[in-house]
Structure 1
Amino acid sequence: MFNDESGFDAYQQVDVEAQAAASSPYQLVLMLIGGFLDTLTRAEAHMEANRLKEKGEAIARCLDIIGGLNSALDMKRGGEMAEQMNNLYDFCSLRLFEASTKNEIEKLHEVRTVMTNIQEGWQNFGAVHGN
């Protein structure tokens, strides 16, 4: 009825939900970006192996995460920084769509570079502000 992987996935989901419930907004953003990068790694592997269905599902999940990050931006209070983040998320969304439709792994690598830079920025912010 259940395979080993589905049991692990269910356990992992409960663990993620527990971590999210106890996390600050700063930590939640880092969790989302980490999850994004993990899912992007899966999308790359699926693309390389020509597993189109799984690639599409992984890219759709990446788009969902970016949508969540983007919707959390406070455009009024965030000013120019929020606008820049919005532009980066839009760029990543477009590249993910192009990568999926054209099967171009290079576009996934571009997205990884941008999101890794964002992750590093958040980590540096946390180090400076004691998060």
Structure 2
Amino acid sequence: MNPMLALRQYQKVGAQAQVSEASPYRLVQMLMEGGLDRIAQAKGAMERNDIPGKGVLISKAIGIIGGLREGLDLENKAEEVERLDNLYMYMMKRLAEANITTDPAILDEVGDLLRTVKDGWDGIAPASPQF
């Protein structure tokens, strides 16, 4: 994970947290939390029939997941990195689909996928002192 890319993406989506002091590990956590928040907010906008708001929030979620994807070490050539890259691409496509179709079930699907990735990420913290 490239911490500078993660920092720039987090700042782009309007985060008010103190990212300058966050570790690279925490920056990734913050991005995932922000993505989950935007997905939940977009679902709320759908329920309220707030079409412009839904579009803005889904776009922000796509941007956050894109930032996570940009931070992957694709030169590593590890199978896990490739799978995660493909998963992030899938999530971004599904979010675009949810925006077009106004389908909250797709938001639930992507939220569940991102939550699973975040749970895995959260689980590596104690075993990875370099973060």
> Which of the five TM-score ranges fits, normalised by the shorter chain?
0.7 to 0.9
CA deviation digits over 1:21-42, x for unaligned, max 9?
A: 1111111000000011111111
What CA distance in whole angstroms lies between the structure 1 residues aligned with 2:94 and 2:61?
11
Matching residue of 1:115: 114
Change (3 A) 1:105 1:15: closer
- What secondary structure, in the 3-state scheme, does the structure 2 residue paired with 1:114 have? helix
Deviation at 1:78, TM superposition (A): 5.4
Change (3 A) 1:14 1:98: closer
Matching residue of 2:4: none
Give the greater-gyration-radius structure (CA).
1
Deviation at 1:15, TM superposition (A): 3.9
What CA distance in whole angstroms lies between the structure 2 residues aligned with 1:15 and 1:112?
22
**So what's the TM-score if we normalise by structure 2?**
0.84
- Alignment RMSD: 1.4
Deviation at 1:92, TM superposition (A): 0.5
Deviation at 1:81, TM superposition (A): 1.6
Number of equivalences = 117
What CA distance in whole angstroms lies between the structure 2 residues aligned with 1:44 and 1:74?
31
What CA distance in whole angstroms lies between the structure 2 residues aligned with 1:74 and 1:25?
13
Percent of residue pairs identical: 32
* Higher relative helix content: 1
70-79 or 37-46: which moved more? 70-79
Q: Which amino acid aligns with 1:80?
A: E
Matching residue of 2:11: none
- Higher RCO (C-alpha under 8 Å, 6+ residues apart): 2
Change (3 A) 1:31 1:101: same
Matching residue of 1:100: 99
Structure 1: segments with no counterpart, 5+ residues: 1-12
- 1:59-74 map, 5 Å: 59-74=58-73
CA deviation digits over 1:45-96, x for unaligned, max 9?
A: 0011110000000000001101111001111125112101101101101110
Q: Which amino acid aligns with 1:29?
A: V
CA deviation digits over 1:98-121, x for unaligned, max 9?
A: 111011110000001100001100
- 1:48-67 map, 5 Å: 48-67=47-66
What CA distance in whole angstroms lies between the structure 2 residues aligned with 1:14 and 1:33?
12
